[in-house]
Amino acid sequence: MSGPMRIEISIPRQTLDLLDDAGRLVRRYAVSTAANGAGERNGSFCTPRGRHIVRAKIGAGAAANMVFVRRRLTGEVWTPELAAQFPGRDWILTRILWLSGCEPGRNRLGGVDTMRRYIYIHGSPDSVPMGAPGSIGCIRMRNSDIVELFDRVPAYTPVEILES
Q: Give the total number of structural domains in the chain.
A: 1
pLDDT digits (tens, 9 = 90+) for 41-99: 999 999 999 999 999 999 999 999 999 999 999 999 999 999 999 998 999 999 999 99
Average pLDDT over residues 12-34: 97
What CATH number does the domain containing 70 carry? Answer: 2.40.440
Assess if residue 19 is contained within a domain. no
**b (16+ CB within 10 A) / e for 71-83:** eeeeebebeeeee
Assess if residue 151 is contained within a domain. yes
Assess if residue 9 is contained within a domain. no
Cα-Cα end-to-end distance for the chain: 27
pLDDT tier for residue 1 given thresholds of 50, 70 and 90: very low
Please give the residue range of the domain that contains residue 114.
Answer: 33-156
